[in-house]
Chains A and B, each alone.
Chain A
Amino acid sequence: ITCSFYQKSSQPASLSTEDVSANTNGPNQDALFDDDPEDLFAEATEEVSLDSPERDILLSDGPSPAITPITPPTSVIAPRIGHTHDDMFTHSSFDEIEEEEVDDSFDINISVSDPEKVGEYVVHPVQEQKTSMSLFKQREFSVKRRFSDFLGLHSKLASKYLHVGYIVPPAPEKSIVGMTKVKVGKEDQSSNEFVEKRRSALERYLMRTVKHHILLKDPDVLQFLESSELPRAVSTQALSSAGLLRMVNKAADAVNKMTIKMNESDAWFEEKQQHFESLDVQLRKLHISVESLVCHRKELSVNTAQFAKSAAMLGNSEDHTALSRALSQLAEVEEKMDQLHQDQANADFYLFSELLGDYVRLLAAVKGVFDHRIKTWQKWQDSQILLQKKREAEAKLQFTNKSDKLQQAKDEIKDMEGRVQQDERDFEQISRTIRKEVGRFEKERVKDFKTSIIKYLESLVLTQQQVIKSYFTFRYVTASV
């Protein structure tokens, strides 16, 4: 079988600034992925059930958004296959899907454009370009989505995947002030900045989501990317990442309140938890540091512009022709510098400040899955205790003559044993999933940072070259004084 989606395609002409370059040496046999490929999907049917108590906890705070019916991931495979052009998919086994998830070449490009007004709503056009991903019907897409649609997507994914250990990328923050300005049609620098900030955040959010091999196949994600019409979330108060953060924190508090003292048999989890806690502290520090840098850079731009103006005025007052010309040229150079400082401030902001902010928020999701594991463990412990009680009760009944009650007790014990086994499997499953997810997270982290840094350095080099050009021009003019 020639598997077309394994070949490394050349980078498509990118619409977005979030290119993920394919630079791999072939399928990565990361040790963490050495599981039996069948296993992941065999569990899938049991991963999400409508009656999952974790889901209730997730949804118990605040107004619950309307969620499209949750279907088990296996449905991803079934109905769509018939629609794809790519025949090979119909022959596909779970092995190949598993292999796809470890293949680093990634063929999807998403770009989110500036908002438009459609009727009374503000929508963002979303364009995707894919090559040879046979999960999708077409190569290129363009849909229009409202901000609440993005939040709705996230809340659906969070409710489906967080509690089983998947690190679901958080959605961008809601901002009442910013949005009001845009709705009112205010056209000034701060509202333009807000629009760009949001656009970029939505784009990064989608890219992070589709980069996740499990989330990419989720029907809600596919529907989001492809359908021309999306069912509206009934409640407009979709979960923003702030809301999710609150919820995660509440879950964490619940964990603490229950004083769950988990007997951590696995040192890996303890070490990872500590590690993520200290990473959170570091990232926040870095974020504050960069924000300060961005602030000063903007200040420099303003001061440079003022300096340029004053130099121009001095040039105008100057009698001596050549000196006057030199001063005017100085003003021009400084105006150019002002522009470069602004560009630099944007680079600082989008490539670092936002990146660090994203990771601070991502770490909240990471913390969330760790807490869910603890809750899962607790559930398992509770079941075991309950089983023990039921056994004791049954033992007591042995000495009575209530045979029907005894039978009932025996039946209950059988059920309970089943539940204990299930809970144990759940716990082991979430532990496995988290291990994989953490590995994926740490790998993505390196890629993410490297990509941003390279873009940043490229912009720095470009800026310096323009600076040099400016000074050359200036030198030429002042030499004639």
Chain B
Amino acid sequence: MMMTEENEVESTLSVCGHNIQIAEVLKDGEMLSFLIVSQKLSGTGEYHVHRNYDDFEWLQHNLFCQEDVAGIQGVIFPPLPAKAQVNTAAKVMKQLGFLSLGEWQPYCKALEVFLQQVAAHSILSKNKAVEVFLTNPDSPGKQKVKKNIFNRLSQAVDGMRKEGHKDVDDFFQTARDHNLVLTNCTKTVTEKLLEVVQTEQKIAVACGHFSAALLLCVEPGDDPNKQAFSKVCVKLSEVFESMKKSTTGVSENDVSTMGLGLDLESRYQEAIKEMLFRRTCKLVELEHARRNAEKAKPVKKAAMEELRKAAETEFEDISRVAKEEITRFEAVRVKMLQQAMVQWCEKQLLTAKECADQFTQHLEVFRGMNFK
């Protein structure tokens, strides 16, 4: 899933952002190791680097910790999937949802999108860590990752109270309300589709069993009736093999298009929620600073005023960046979901046509069976 920047931005990145690929995933002891391939912008050539999840976390941490960038907290950070290992705990697998399926292929796709989004982001791509991550032959993630400084919603003690804090800007109040609804709806849709996929997989397995069991019914001997019955069993076994294939195909299509799309959308809505919460926290902070400045005794007044001004600037920066981010994201999001649905439809159409052809062939075989 590609989302290219509309404007040409000054990027310190020496590689092309929109076609970063995760070419391979390997088992490295307990960890999964990803081969990341990116194209050099100048001339021909590629960078091939091996990274594991710790490296991704290192990158993300570096992106979060850009205190010198004005309004950094207003950025909608591309969401990084949860950590997956060779033997991932069931709880994490459940959390990963679609990304836990299909031998880590969807997971790799999600990491790929993460990198593409980062590389395409006007603010984030300027961070040196991105260049290092994509081009440096050595793994950067050896450093201990400090807890990120952002007020994660889940970590905030009085998160619930702050979350409901009334906004001063209609645009943001609407954004927050809308995000709340969308987050829940998207999460539900994603969960329900996952359940559909899991049932499809069960059906495929059941078809396989039935197909195998039918072959056990083949009866040896010259008796024409026995031979006829054996033939029926063999041909029916083929029918259910076909059914298994087509059901598997349908399920894979669901995952690779709609599943991934909804999963990404779901994680992005969470990322937006986090960003809006950060801004809301800043708003609360600002309002505190204003009150303090008002109430301050003359001795402290100047200091409080300084704090108030700083808080106001920060809040304005965040709001400015946030507004740009939200507007940009909205357009991209619609396109992304539409793309997911179109691809889903195309793939399912193809699978359905193949399936119809197969079954028609099987039908002809059976109709043509003449037993004396």
Spell out A's residues near B (CB within 8 Å).
23, 25, 28, 275, 279, 282-283, 285-286, 289-290, 292-293, 296-297, 299-300, 303-304, 306-307, 309-311, 313-314, 317-320, 322-323, 326, 330, 439, 442-443, 445-447, 449-450, 453-454, 457-458, 460-461, 464-465, 467-468, 471-472, 474-475, 478-479, 481
Known contacts being A317-B181, A471-B349, is A28 close to B372, with CB within 8 Å?
Answer: yes
Which one of B217, B348, B352, B367 contacts A279 once the chains associate, using CB atoms below 8 Å?
A: B217
Q: Are B359 and A464 in contact (CB under 8 A)?
A: yes
The answer to the question of B128 belonging to the interface, with a C-beta cut-off of 8 Å to chain A, is no
B203 at the interface (CB under 8 A from A): yes
Residues of A within 8 A of B302 (CB): none
A291 CB to closest chain B CB, in angstroms? 10
6 shortest interchain CB distances as A-B pairs:
A442-B225, A464-B356, A307-B192, A457-B363, A293-B206, A314-B185
Chain A residues whose CB sits within 8 angstroms of the CB of B210 once the complex forms = 286, 289-290, 293
Residue of B nearest to A319 (CB): B178
State the CA gap A249–B235 with chains docked (Å).
Answer: 34
Inter-subunit contact B199/A478 (CB<8 Å): no
9 contacts between A and B (CB under 8 A): A289-B210, A310-B188, A314-B188, A442-B225, A442-B226, A443-B225, A446-B371, A453-B239, A468-B353
Q: A286-B217, A443-B225, A461-B356 are in contact. Are A300 and B189 (CB under 8 A)?
A: no
Cross-chain contact B185 with A317 (CB below 8 angstroms): yes
Query: How distant is the Cα of A443 from the Cα of B371 in the complex, in angstroms?
Result: 9
Inside 8 A of A330's CB, which chain B residues have their CB?
A: 341
Q: Is there a chain A Cβ closer than 8 Å to B369's Cβ?
A: yes
Complex: A286 Cα to B214 Cα, angstroms:
7
| Interface check B370, CB cutoff 8 A | yes
A279 contact set on B, CB distance < 8 A: 217, 219
CA–CA, A293 and B200, complex, Å: 11
Q: Are A320 and B334 in contact (CB under 8 A)?
A: yes
Partner of B239, one of A282, A450, A457, A464: A457
Q: Does B186 contact A (CB under 8 A)?
A: yes
A-chain residues with CB within 8 Å of residue B65 when the two chains form the complex? none
Interface residue? B207 (CB, 8 A): yes
| CB pair A464 B346 closer than 8 Å | no
Contacts of B223 in A (CB 8 A): 442
What residues of B have a CB within 8 angstroms of the CB of A297 in the complex?
203
For A466, give the chain B residue with the smallest CB separation: B352
B342 to chain A, nearest CB (A): 6
**Set A292, A326, A445: member contacting B229, Cβ < 8 A:** A445
- Determine whether B213 belongs to the interface, using a CB cutoff of 8 Å to chain A: yes
Instruction: Tell me if A460 and B359 are in contact (CB < 8 A).
Output: yes
Q: How far is the CB of B103 from chain A (nearest CB, A)?
A: 22
Decide if B216 is an interface residue (CB 8 Å cutoff): yes
Chain B residue at minimal CB-CB distance from A323: B334
Contact check, A285 vs B232: say whether CB atoms are below 8 A apart: no
**Also in contact, A282 and B213, with CB within 8 A (given A300-B199, A446-B232):** yes
Q: With CB as the reference atom, state the residue of chain A lying closest to B354.
A: A464
**Nearest chain A residue, comparing its CB with the CB of B341:** A478
Given A282-B213, A300-B199, A326-B337, list of 6 further CB < 8 A pairs?
A290-B210, A304-B196, A314-B186, A453-B239, A464-B359, A481-B338
A439 → chain B closest CB, angstroms: 7
Mostly, the A contact residues are helix
Contact B337 A296 (CB under 8 A): no
Interfacial chain A residues near B228, Cβ < 8 Å: 446
Interfacial residues of chain B within 308-344, with CB under 8 A of chain A in the complex: 330, 334, 337-338, 341-342
Q: Is B202 interfacial (CB 8 A cutoff)?
A: yes
Contact among A310, A323, A460, A475 for B345, CB-based, below 8 A:
A475
**In the complex, A449 Cα to B243 Cα: how many Å?**
18
Whole-angstrom distance from the CB of B296 to the nearest CB of chain A? 43
Is B209 on the interface with A (CB-CB < 8 A)?
yes
Q: Are B345 and A317 in contact (CB under 8 A)?
A: no
B150 at the interface (CB under 8 A from A): no
Q: What is the distance, in angstroms, from B250's C-beta to the closest C-beta of chain A?
A: 9
B356 touches A474 (CB 8 A): no
Which residues of chain A come closer than 8 Å to B281, judged between CB atoms?
none
Q: Is B193 an interface residue (CB 8 A)?
A: yes
Residues in B with CB closer than 8 Å to A275 are 219
> In the complex, what residue of chain A is closest to B243 when comparing beta carbons?
A460
**What residues of B have a CB within 8 angstroms of the CB of A314 in the complex?**
182, 185-186, 188-189
- B211 CB, nearest partner CB in chain A, Å: 9
The answer to whether B216 touches A465 (Cβ under 8 A) is no
Cα–Cα, bound, A1→B185 (Å): 78
Bound Cα distance from A218 to B199, whole angstroms: 49
Q: A323-B338, A458-B363, A475-B345 are in contact. Are A307 and B202 (CB under 8 A)?
A: no
Please tell me if the beta carbons of A307 and B193 are within 8 angstroms of each other in the complex. Answer: yes
A10 to chain B minimum Cβ distance, whole angstroms, is 18
Residues of B within 8 A of A300 (CB): 196, 199-200, 203
Whether B349 contacts A450 by the Cβ 8 Å rule is no
- Distance of A354 Cα from B369 Cα, bound (Å): 23
Q: CA A28 – CA B372 in complex, angstroms?
A: 8
Whose C-beta in chain A lies nearest to the C-beta of B212?
A289
CB distance from A403 to the nearest CB of B (A): 59
Residue of A nearest to B371 (CB): A446
| B96 contacts A by Cβ under 8 Å | no
Of A323, A457, A460, A474, the contact of B337 (CB 8 Å cutoff): A323
- CB of A475, distance to nearest CB on chain B (Å): 5
Say which residue of B195, B206, B330 sits within 8 Å of A303 (CB atoms). Answer: B195
- Nearest CB of A to B23, in Å: 31
Separation of A297 and B203 alpha carbons in the complex (Å): 7
- The reply to whether B182 and A306 form a contact with Cβ atoms under 8 Å apart is no
User: Are the CB atoms of A454 and B334 closer together than 8 Å?
Assistant: no
Shortest distance from the beta carbon of A354 to any chain B beta carbon, whole Å: 15
A311 with B189: CB separation less than 8 A: yes
Residue of A nearest to B363 (CB): A457
Q: Is the CB of B189 within 8 A of A326?
A: no
Q: Complex formed: what's the CA distance from A27 to B346 in Å?
A: 52
Cβ contacts under 8 Å, B203 to chain A: 293, 296-297, 300
Contact indicator A450/B199 (Cβ below 8 Å): no
Decide: B348 and A289 in contact? CB cutoff 8 A.
no
In the assembled complex, how far is the CB of residue B1 from the closest CB belonging to chain A, in whole angstroms? 16
**B359 touches which of A283, A461, A471 (Cβ 8 Å):** A461
